[in-house]
Each structure stands twice: as structure tokens, then as C-alpha cells.
Amino acid sequence: FCSRLILGIETSCDDTGAAVLDGKGAILGESLHSQKEVHLRAGGIIPTVAQHLHRENIERVVQQALERSGVEPSQLNAVATTVKPGLALSLGVGLEFSQRFVRQYNKPFIPIHHMEAHALTVRMLHPIAFPFLVLLISGGHSLLAVARGIDDFLLLGYTLDEAPGDMLDKVARRLSLIKHPQCFTLSGGQAIELLAKDGDRLKFSFRTPMGQTHDCCFSFAGLRNQVTMTIMKQEAEEGIEEGTLLPCVNDIAAATQHTVATHLAKRTHRAILFCKANGLLPSSSPTLVLSGGVASNHYIRKALNIIAETTGLCLLCPPAKFCTDNGVMIAWNGVERLREGKGILPPHVDVCYEPK
């Protein structure tokens, strides 16, 4: 099985990614094209623009991953591609390309769930067994689940409104961080993390969401509203117009990041207690896995590490380049599915994408 070769393709949002892995999970070649700068300048992801950029880049990105790996398409054992969830127009580009590719080279096709891929990436880097608790936090999702098998997830909590990355991106936009000399190439979450380093989180106080709700779900829209109101108040007090950088931008970033981290930590703590009470995790060396774009935030990692340590769990978090979207995680999910013989389709089967 180790000599199997799998091509993974990711286009669910704004990154065009491809990678070739062998059956052990060794990365033989990879390529990634990020659309971040275009979307930053536009003030958000416009689906038709994302689709256009995926179309422009997918051929080259896949070619590059194959060339870097020294693998010919005919040598591949399977092609794995994200088919859900994500932006419909973006998913469509990867799927159409992949279906043409597998038909041309007569290869098995493995449709991939983007969140399953985020959850399993850690197993490419550490030999951890099921079950484990996973917290996935990205621009499109926040969820807590017990991973019981490669396609068996017990969902404990999810966001009731927006995802933490989406919220941080919107706050960053409202603060016009794109105009900040240190931030103009950074995503909203990255900009907030950077500015928070020089901020005093105690200058502003935001309520942690859902304090009275005794479940493991998340909510970030109310927090965004609290932050927006504070920004408006500060603008009024300073006599500054919307679109101009506030002098207290670092403090607002620090307080926002702190409240996001606190909310994530509290819900994860509850989930850990629930898992323990119901025997959902192994008694010896239980693991908490943290992944998704927002997991690259060091402040949030630290908060979750405290929760893990105090409850006796070991926190594992892939390095930032594997937390954000990439082709490697899709190829690895393909490896896991190929190994278990799950969800492998012949090349001629028509597959639909599912945005939700």
C-alpha cells in the first residue's frame, strides 16, 4: 500500500491546491495558489471572481504538483477532490477538472468532505488512533466533534451563525486594517493576531458569547456586533470617520482575539467534560486536535492548550500551512479512504458538488 500514489485537489474556497502523496503520507509534490490578495482588495470573496481565478490556475497548480513529485498521471492510483462543503462556484471548478482528469487517465475518484480532511490531517503527522476530540475553526466553520473513524464523526457543537474566521475578517475590514502598514497582505485573522500583540486586551471588555447556554455550540455574530458598536463609539469620541484607522486599533484587536479564544476554550472545556462523562474518549492519553485556518493563531492555541492540560488531554495542532486550506490534506484524506476502501468511485460515475 505504501507505494500507492494519490493526487489531491482542493478548490472549495479561495485556495487552489494540489498535492501528490504516497500511501505512507509522504508529500512527494505540492502546489498552492492563494487568491487572498485579490479578495482582500475587493473587501471579501466574490464567488464569481474566485471561480474565475480557480479556472485560471487549476491546470498549472495540478501540473506543478505532479512535476515536483516526478509522478506521471498514468502512475496515480486515485484522485481525491473536495466536493463539499464550500462555495458552489469554487467547488465546481475542482470537481469538473477532476472528473475530466480521471476519465482521461481512467483513475478511481474519491470525493472528499473538506471538514473531514481538516480533521484527519493530524494523522498524517502523528500516529494518533481514533477516537479523538477535534475542534475545527476556519473562515467557514467552527465545530466540535468526536472523530471515531475516518468517516464517523459525532458532532457535539457547531456555530449557530458565523464562523470565527469570518467574524475576524469582518472586524478587520470594519477596522480598515488593510490600510495598516503591517497588515495589507494579511488575512483578517492574521492582522488581528499581529496587532493584538501590541494591544492591551483590558482596555475594552466584550461579553463572552452564550454564557447562559449549556451546550457546545458557538456564536460569533453577537460578539461582532459588540465589537462594531465599540468601534463606532471610539470613532465618535475621536471624531474619526469610518474607513480611517483608529489609534486604539491594537487594543480592540487584543480584546476581540481574547474573547474569541475564551469562547472557544469554554465550549471545548464543556465538550471535554461531556466526553469524559460519557466515555467517548480513551482513558489513556486522550487527544484534542485543533485545526482549520483560525487554529494557526498562537493566542487561541495557548488558550486551548491550557484547557487540554487542565483536563489531562494532549493538544495536537498541525503547523499553520496544514491548518489552512491546501491540497495535501485532501490527498491525505484520499490515502485514508483508499486504505479502508471507502467511497472510491470508478472514473465514469457522475459526482455532484454539495455547497452545504
Query: Binding ligand KG4 by CB under 6 A: which of 324, 333, 334, 336?
Result: 324
Site track for ligand KG4 across 89-128, x = CB under 6 A: ----------------------------------------
Torsions phi, psi of 78, nearest 5? Answer: -170, 160
Cβ atoms 319, 3 nearer than 8 A? no
Length of the chain: 356
Cα torsion at 122, 32, 159, 187 (round to 10°)?
120
325 near Zn ion (CB under 5 A): yes
343 near ligand KG4 (CB under 6 A): no
* Shortest CB 19 distance to Zn ion, Å: 15
| Residue placing its CB nearer to ligand KG4 in the complex, 22 or 193 | 193
Query: Binding ligand KG4 by CB under 6 A: which of 294, 303, 317, 338?
Result: 294
Return the one option of Zn ion, ligand KG4, none that residue 99 interacts with (CB less than 5 to 8 A, by type).
none
Q: Is the previous residue joined to 131 through a cis bond, with omega within 30 degrees of 0?
A: yes
71 near ligand KG4 (CB under 6 A): no
What does DSSP say about strands 132-137 and 142-149: parallel, antiparallel, or unpaired? antiparallel
* Shortest CB 261 distance to Zn ion, Å: 19
Cα torsion at 303, 287, 3, 107 (round to 10°)?
-80
| Residue placing its CB nearer to ligand KG4 in the complex, 286 or 292 | 292
**Positions 134 through 153 that interact with Zn ion (CB under 5 A):** 138
How far is C-alpha 280 from the chain's CA centre?
24
14 near Zn ion (CB under 5 A): no
297 near ligand KG4 (CB under 6 A): yes
Q: Is the dihedral of CA 98, 99, 105, 106 positive or negative?
A: positive
Neighbours of 207 (CB within 10 A): 12
| Residue placing its CB nearer to Zn ion in the complex, 115 or 195 | 115
Return the one option of Zn ion, ligand KG4, none that residue 139 interacts with (CB less than 5 to 8 A, by type).
ligand KG4
> What separation in angstroms does the CA of 285 have from each of 105, 309, 311?
44, 11, 11
327 near ligand KG4 (CB under 6 A): no
| Residue placing its CB nearer to ligand KG4 in the complex, 5 or 40 | 40
Query: Binding ligand KG4 by CB under 6 A: which of 189, 286, 318, 343?
Result: 189
Query: Binding ligand KG4 by CB under 6 A: which of 11, 138, 142, 287?
Result: 138
Give the SS3 label for residue 149. strand
Neighbours of 311 (CB within 10 A): 15
Residues forming a β-bridge with 218: 159
* Shortest CB 296 distance to Zn ion, Å: 11
Query: Binding ligand KG4 by CB under 6 A: which of 18, 168, 261, 317?
Result: 168
**Number of residues forming the site for ligand KG4 (CB under 6 A):** 20
Q: Which of 12, 48, 7, 54 is nearest to 33 (CA)?
A: 54
**d(Cα 29, Cα 20) in Å, to the nearest integer?**
5
> Which residues are at the interface with Zn ion (CB under 5 A)?
138, 325
Enumerate binding residues for ligand KG4 (CB under 6 A).
13, 138-140, 165-166, 168-169, 187-190, 193, 292-294, 296-297, 324-325
